[in-house]
């Protein structure tokens, strides 16, 4: 039995031991409140500002003052959108995509239903690429903010956010990107882009949970969501979570150091896994855009079986993967991403995401390749949509 193979890094990552080592002194030795004027506080304040510079470097931002520490991706997403709407009260329209994370989609649903905003949800094609014609048509001087993710959390498909940002700016709208999955995996140079705001989450790049950041380009109109003290230059009140902030800074520096490995060795391991599964398992295919995606993400749709059953059997072998997004697991409905791409019903239910990290080894990938074909064969023999002769039955329902 294979033990301890973790291929669910888009859900969360292990805290890097080097990150933990940087954090530990903040719980005991350097425990002061960074807002305090004495030496105990100043020592912590200096570490927070260094972490801000480390995140700045990872994002390629022009100024460290553009980094606002938050509790994570959800807070950053909500802050970016709500801040913009408060800053531009006469603009009543929002543009987003149908495949965003619930941190954006749920807020947009609320703003539409409860606050009367018009929300333009831009569709995608069968590979998860944004409908650019629909995007252009939705842009107008009435749009306050565009919020489009940099990389999809389920398929890894990348959106051309830098191009989208320029188009948004042309009509006077602010542009925000949820880059929770992209940060640390692909190079970024925000100083040279038209992106106004960007969200990131620490636990996606080997920092702890409960810490994130919002990039706010200098000169962008901003209204804080949390009001109180003067922390974060009065943009996010509350005593700073110093250990987690220092951890995020250390993780950002490590991510920058390992960027080349992420885009070569990790990408090669992803491709090896994917090619082997496609070769060894009939009736399966890669979802999303295989040519424009994150280097660590592989989402394979296995037809005529349930993703939940695949995950249970993988878990019996000590292999962790995901069926769609971790935030929607437990639901028997196909994910909104699979449905938006028009993935057939018989395949959407079996979509399984394998997300690697810099800690993934070739031996682990070989072990997964050895196990998965047998799991799929076993489940298909139990499926009412798969014949005993090893072929799909004539059954092709569509979505309601």
Backbone angles phi, psi at 30, to 5 degrees: -110, 80
- Annotated catalytic residue 298: no
Long-range contacts from 105-112, C-beta under 8 angstroms, 24+ separation: 105/336, 107/77, 107/78, 107/81, 107/82, 108/81, 108/147, 111/81, 111/85
Nearest to 334 by CA among 99, 167, 174: 99
Neighbour order of strands in the sheet with 284-286: 284-286, 297-302, 351-355
Helices (H), ranges, 331-388: 336-340, 345-348, 362-382
- Tally of CB atoms within 10 A around 42: 13
Nearest to 78 by CA among 173, 169, 212, 220: 212
- Mutual orientation of helices 242-257 and 39-59 as an angle, nearest 10°? 30
Sign, CA dihedral 154-273-358-56, equals negative
Task: Give dist(CA 22, CA 20) in Å, integer.
Answer: 5
Residue position matching structure tokens 């890669």: 286
Instruction: Give the tokens for residue 276.
Output: 């082997």
Backbone angles phi, psi at 111, to 5 degrees: -65, -35
Backbone angles phi, psi at 394, to 5 degrees: -75, 90
Residue position matching structure tokens 């919002």: 214
* Strand spans (E) along 217-310: 284-286, 297-302
**Which member of 108, 284, 298, 327 is catalytic?**
327
Instruction: Give the tokens for residue 3.
Output: 């033990």
Q: End-to-end distance of the chain based on CA atoms, in angstroms? A: 41
Task: Give dist(CA 300, CA 293) in Å, integer.
Answer: 14
Provide the residue count of the chain: 400
CB 320 within 8 A of CB 371: no
Backbone angles phi, psi at 350, to 5 degrees: -100, 10
- Tally of CB atoms within 10 A around 316: 12
Active-site residues, by number, are 327
């Amino acid at each position: 039995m294979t033990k301890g193979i973790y291929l669910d890094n888009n859900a969360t990552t292990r805290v890097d031991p080097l990150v933990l080592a940087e954090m530990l002194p903040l719980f005991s030795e350097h425990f002061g409140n960074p807002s305090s004027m004495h030496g105990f506080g100043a020592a912590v304040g200096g570490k927070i500002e260094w972490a801000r510079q480390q995140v700045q470097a990872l994002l390629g931002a022009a100024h460290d003052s553009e980094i606002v520490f938050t509790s994570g991706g959800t807070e950053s997403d909500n802050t970016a959108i709500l801040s913009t709407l408060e800053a531009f009260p006469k603009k009543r329209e929002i543009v987003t995509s149908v495949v965003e994370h619930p941190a954006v989609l749920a807020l947009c649903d609320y703003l539409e239903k409860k606050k009367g905003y018009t929300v333009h949800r831009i569709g995608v094609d069968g590979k998860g690429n944004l409908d650019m014609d629909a995007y252009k048509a939705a842009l107008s001087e009435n749009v306050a903010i565009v919020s489009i993710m940099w990389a999809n959390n389920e398929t890894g498909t990348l959106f051309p956010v830098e191009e989208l940002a320029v188009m948004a700016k042309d009509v006077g709208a602010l542009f925000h990107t949820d880059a929770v999955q992209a940060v640390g995996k692909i190079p970024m140079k925000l100083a040279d882009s038209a992106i106004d705001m960007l969200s990131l989450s620490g636990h996606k790049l080997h920092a702890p949970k409960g810490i994130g950041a919002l990039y706010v380009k200098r000169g962008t109109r901003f209204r804080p969501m949390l009001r109180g003290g003067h922390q974060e230059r009065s943009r996010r009140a509350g005593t700073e979570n110093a250990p987690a902030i220092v951890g995020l800074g250390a993780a950002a520096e490590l991510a920058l150091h390992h960027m080349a490995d992420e885009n070569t060795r990790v990408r090669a391991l992803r491709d090896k896994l994917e090619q082997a599964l496609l070769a060894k398992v009939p009736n399966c295919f890669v979802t999303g855009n295989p040519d424009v995606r994150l280097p660590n993400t592989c989402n394979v749709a296995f037809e005529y079986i349930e993703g939940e059953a695949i995950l249970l059997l993988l878990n019996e072998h000590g292999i962790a993967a995901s069926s769609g997004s971790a935030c929607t697991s437990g639901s028997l409905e196909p994910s909104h991403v699979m449905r938006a791409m028009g993935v057939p019903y018989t395949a959407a239910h079996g979509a399984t995401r394998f997300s690697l990290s810099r800690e993934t080894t070739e031996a682990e990938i070989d072990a997964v390749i050895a196990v998965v074909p047998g799991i799929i064969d076993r489940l298909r023999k139990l499926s009412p949509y798969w014949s005993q002769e090893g072929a799909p039955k004539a059954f092709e329902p569509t979505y309601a």
